[in-house]
Structure 1
């Protein structure tokens, strides 16, 4: 069993840390909001008062943080992981950040004698709570092999997709596909409603054909019920589509549909819906159609 420092105990990080603790690992959690450590403590883990305290003596450091600057600060800051973790420590970054940042941080870690892999996840809050996440992993073979028993505790589908940064590239593609599906699902429901269709019946039959998807299964009920409590917030998907846009430009490829969806997500955020689930993109589509009463 490993001693694991888990930094970031939010909607995703908290249940992941709890799974690791319940599996018998010694998990020491840190979050900027201390009360968020309580579920981990209840699951058998313990809380630290700083990143430095959490990582001292840890075999593995796991990160689940909002954005590239957060990961960079936690790793490279004066009170950060690189300054206080022992040589040989394995760093697993579950956050979703820029691929180039992930590769650069892995290089920084190696220069300090640490090993780092990027392991962003997909599946949202439900996936984290049910240990059913899809995890796309970038890093050296031997480091991924060492991390795999831990990844298998929190994930259902764990795939090594390439060197450092590759996990983040695949995650960016995942977020592009998800956002596009949500936008088209929203358009379809507004379209169906405008024609007076039985929406639950329509969703049922669409789900049984080629239009069926995990997005339809999980997000159509939220749209139909007007219930947009966050499993994955618009704010975070807005950030992720910014990663897609930047990475696509750097690679010299075009994402015309993705660019349009990114604008729709940005408009949803600007309308004050950034804290809602990304299925709240439906509200923007409804407003654009002059059908606010359906949202």
Structure 2
């Protein structure tokens, strides 16, 4: 293990505020790596130093966090040429904060263990604002000793940190979380499409649902703030990313012999959304496909 510095790789929409909170609250020096210079420059104001390479970061940090878009990116950073595995020090703990396939997570854990290092999955949930505020929910797959070491650091990022089990368990919970969320938003989109065509104000529907058994986080956030007003910005969690996470759920289910009819339906709707040109838009835009109407029609 090399020193007490914390490494952070990936300073995108979620990664930058997480890295900032880690630097502000952990009391530890933070070394960050990203291909874009702008977030590195902004984080310098908060005491975050920039690493010149993954090798520099791997050889000088005792804990390394990755906040990357997909399992493919995680695999490239860890196992690619000049990646973390090539330079990792004994005892270093590498932590995946993103959503990655369970089989990849377990494979990388074995490869880091063979190098004398350690690996944990700690995928995050909730919104960009939660990342800014340090109120994320984090689901951790790690052994007990590694979780004990990680928990104070994760507490700088989150208001809820749950130890779900050994390596891979955090990803299982997160993948199922996202599957349930997407299917719920599909149901909300179907409900509001029917209600509007039947002559009911969508706002009346959703506000009334919050008072009954159909109430949910998805309704209050994705439903009320995106589906109802028709607000689907870029640089939020996109349709393409939502499909990526659903693909992990479908692959995991296939590996254990479960047929996910609901998730397959949701994936087909997201695929139609991407084909309609909405791949980069906030993924509740799938409600446009379900409504089958002009993008600006039927708001309210």
Query: Is the aligned partner of 1:206 residue 2:209?
Result: yes
Query: Is the aligned partner of 1:88 residue 2:105?
Result: no
Distance 1:223 1:82 in 2: 43
Q: Is the 8 A contact 2:88 2:115 kept in 1?
A: no
Query: Is the aligned partner of 1:258 residue 2:268?
Result: no
1:262-273 correspondence runs (5 A): 262-273=267-278
Q: Residue 61 of structure 1 aligns to a residue in which SS? A: strand
1:30-41 correspondence runs (5 A): 30-41=33-44
Distance 2:45 2:277 in 1: 35
Q: Cα offset for 1:167? A: 1.0
**Scaled by the length of structure 2, what TM-score is found?**
0.93
Q: Is the 8 A contact 1:58 1:85 kept in 2?
A: no
Distance 1:102 1:39 in 2: 31
Query: Is the aligned partner of 1:222 residue 2:226?
Result: yes
Q: Cα offset for 1:48? A: 1.9
Question: Which of 212, 222, 242 matches 2:247?
Answer: 242
Question: Which of 266, 279, 287 matches 2:284?
Answer: 279
Question: Which of 55, 67, 71 matches 1:68?
Answer: 71
Q: Cα offset for 1:262? A: 1.0
Q: Cα offset for 1:11? A: 0.8
1:155-170 correspondence runs (5 A): 155-170=158-173
Distance 2:108 2:181 in 1: 27
Q: Is the 8 A contact 1:123 1:134 kept in 2?
A: yes
Counterpart for residue 153 of structure 1: 156
Q: Is the 8 A contact 1:18 1:39 kept in 2?
A: no
Q: Is the 8 A contact 1:118 1:165 kept in 2?
A: yes
Distance 1:113 1:146 in 2: 17
Q: Is the 8 A contact 2:123 2:174 kept in 1?
A: yes
Counterpart for residue 171 of structure 1: 174
Q: Cα offset for 1:17? A: 0.4
Q: How many residues align?
A: 293
Query: Is the aligned partner of 1:126 residue 2:121?
Result: no
Q: Cα offset for 1:2? A: 4.1
Distance 2:176 2:83 in 1: 30
Q: Cα offset for 1:139? A: 1.6
Q: Residue 161 of structure 1 aligns to a residue in which SS? A: strand
Distance 1:144 1:215 in 2: 29
**Scaled by the length of structure 1, what TM-score is found?**
0.95
Q: Cα offset for 1:120? A: 0.7
Counterpart for residue 9 of structure 2: 7
Q: Is the 8 A contact 1:152 1:158 kept in 2?
A: yes
Give CA deviations for 1:212-250 in whole Å, capped at 9, x if unaligned.
Answer: 111111112222222111431111111000111111111
Q: Is the 8 A contact 1:63 1:71 kept in 2?
A: yes
Q: Which runs of 5+ in 1 are unaligned?
A: none
